[in-house]
Structure 1
Amino acid sequence: MQIIRGKEKDIGGFSVRRCLPVAKLRSVGPWVFFDHMGPAMFEPGDGLDVRPHPHVNLATVTYLFEGEILHRDSLGNTQPIKPGDINLMVAGSGIVHSERERPQVREQEHRLHGLQLWHALPQEHEEIAPAFYHYPIEDIPATEVDGVPVRVLIGTAYELTSPVETFCDTLYLEAFLQPGQSLTLPETQESAVYVADGQISIQRVTVPQFALAQLSTNSCVTIHADKKSRIALIGGEPLGERFMHWNFVSSRKSRIEQAMADWKEQRFTPVPGDEKEYIPLP
């Protein structure tokens, strides 16, 4: 078991930083990037403003604990993301999106807190047509396992299957444990558990808040809550070597270089209603 520690309010992933030159990724199953957003408090009139930016050959998964994000993309989708919803954006051959907040949210003091993860696509799906899927909170299956509330966000676990679109064996779930409770995690080819809040123990090893523990392959693991805890489990099928630069992930360095050139020359389709700004290529 390997434990990777993040920083409060700025949780880097188990991947390389996105601003580095094209580099190989570390991954957990298909998952290549993990970002804990916030918690951030915004004063009235202030809010999230992530200008339009591109992605290729991956899928992003946005999941909020608090607040709201307004998603817009180059396919013409406009969708507020609220706590408990799942937003899946499949970049495929290329997509552009922005992440902002609606005026009615910005006009009052508010908090924003959640997770955004990226997973690679199998090589045969890397260049599929881009797509956007939104799943409201009521569509995400939930259960209790030995008294522990669990939500299966993506994939199959505890005899529940999420409706969220998948392209390979993919697992993403969350659980809420009270002090002293234990939960046996479902087995998958590769997996890691992240402590979004609280503290857990795995085989007498402490996993603190804002840490991600990469678990042994194909092992049956039981976690124990030392404190009231909220955890996320990710895992699934490893997809082989992937490379990353900025917002681009691909099995081919040449594809990333092409995407960089296309963005620099603004050859991507813009976001309708949000065409005036964009994030330049680093």
Structure 2
Amino acid sequence: MANNKMLVDERQRNLGSFIVGRLLPFKEKRQVGPFTFIDHMGPAEVGPGNYFDVNQHPHIGLSTLTYLFEGAIEHRDSIGSVKVVHPGDVGFMTAGKAVTHTERTPAPKRDGSSHIIHGYQIWVALPKELEEMEPRFNFYPASSLPKWTENNCEIVLVAGEAFGKQSPLQGYSPLFMVDIRAMEDTHLDLGKKIKGEVAFVIVRGSIELEGERVEQGQMLVSRTREMCTMEIKKGTRILLFGGEPLPEERFLLWNFVSSSRDRLKEARRLWQEKRFPQVPGDQTYIPFP
């Protein structure tokens, strides 16, 4: 691979009955644009005894973005939001100064049957001046996102600006997230269609770039802003993430993101002392690891 690009393999993590593949951060690159964390969930079968259940846990300094291909997740948070995210929808929770939430298989799907869950959970770091903003939750149904066909590809603009279009989900700094599915073998020239740093996540299939093949479960990150062309095989699905990098370094501690290490330590103490806001009616608690 050319030295202006980095190739990353998913690192699998076992979360009890569920396995996720982590793509970002990694040693050589902590962020791509404002994106600071990308987890690939599934595809995995959930059902009696192993429904998707992530108990009450906290965040600060970031927005979480949930995007599904299959299945459903019910989001509940400490500001009172309750929403089920289905395939193609986007749940976008901005933690700001402090938020707590849960993610679970919705009650209607806990009917004794099994189903597949597959998608991505993503963290977007907030600009320094907004790290302590009031928390909020925004929901964008699949029908609200720009969709079009170009160069034998079906394209969805999940967030931000790209390809001369705007998503209703703009975030808080210049960014983009694009879902691309190739209906035939095709050639894609990004050219001036995106701005800033970029990562290519191969959900299914493969792409060829500068003579190198990038496969399912891998992520390619460009070290430069010079974008290239690629060959995409029929049936391939990729996600593009990126945008303008934030000017200050971001630090991570468990579920917390901040430009200040001291703020991370304070958040840890407040969670350990159980002083974060709580999800209404939920008594669960994930201890700080």
Q: TM-score range, shorter-chain basis? A: over 0.9
Partner in structure 1 of residue 74 of structure 2: 70
Instruction: Check the 8 A contact 2:152/2:184 in 1, yes or no.
Output: no
Question: Which ranges in structure 1 are unaligned for 5 or more consecutive residues?
Answer: 18-23
User: Percent of pairs identical after alignment?
Assistant: 38
Within the candidate set 197, 207, 216, 2:204 is matched to 197
Instruction: Check the 8 A contact 1:145/1:183 in 2, yes or no.
Output: no
The separation in 2 between residues aligned to 1:25 and 1:124, in whole angstroms, is: 23
RMSD over equivalenced CA pairs, Å: 1.7
Residue 145 of structure 1 and its aligned partner are, at CA, apart by 1.6
The separation in 2 between residues aligned to 1:25 and 1:50, in whole angstroms, is: 27
Residue 159 of structure 1 and its aligned partner are, at CA, apart by 2.2
The answer to whether structure 1 residue 231 and structure 2 residue 238 are counterparts is yes
Partner in structure 1 of residue 32 of structure 2: 28
Equivalent residue letter for 2:219: L
Instruction: Check the 8 A contact 1:63/1:86 in 2, yes or no.
Output: yes
Instruction: Check the 8 A contact 1:149/1:177 in 2, yes or no.
Output: yes
Partner in structure 1 of residue 250 of structure 2: 242
Residue 38 of structure 1 and its aligned partner are, at CA, apart by 0.5
Partner in structure 1 of residue 149 of structure 2: 144
The separation in 2 between residues aligned to 1:160 and 1:47, in whole angstroms, is: 37
Residue 215 of structure 1 and its aligned partner are, at CA, apart by 1.5
Equivalent residue letter for 2:271: W
Instruction: Check the 8 A contact 1:173/1:234 in 2, yes or no.
Output: yes
Partner in structure 2 of residue 117 of structure 1: 122
Residue 203 of structure 1 and its aligned partner are, at CA, apart by 1.3
Partner in structure 1 of residue 93 of structure 2: 89
The separation in 1 between residues aligned to 2:272 and 2:48, in whole angstroms, is: 34
Question: Which ranges in structure 2 are unaligned for 5 or more consecutive residues?
Answer: 13-18
Residue 43 of structure 1 and its aligned partner are, at CA, apart by 2.8
**How big is each residue's C-alpha offset from its partner over 1:25-57, in whole Å with a ceiling of 9 and x where there is no partner?**
711000000000011102345411100000000
Within the candidate set 72, 80, 83, 2:84 is matched to 80
The separation in 2 between residues aligned to 1:61 and 1:135, in whole angstroms, is: 11
Displacement over 4 Å in runs of 4+: none
Within the candidate set 209, 214, 221, 1:214 is matched to 221
User: TM-score, with normalisation over the residues of structure 1?
Assistant: 0.93
Equivalent residue letter for 2:241: I
User: TM-score, with normalisation over the residues of structure 2?
Assistant: 0.91
The answer to whether structure 1 residue 127 and structure 2 residue 137 are counterparts is no
Partner in structure 2 of residue 14 of structure 1: 24
Residue 160 of structure 1 and its aligned partner are, at CA, apart by 1.5
Q: How many residues align?
A: 275
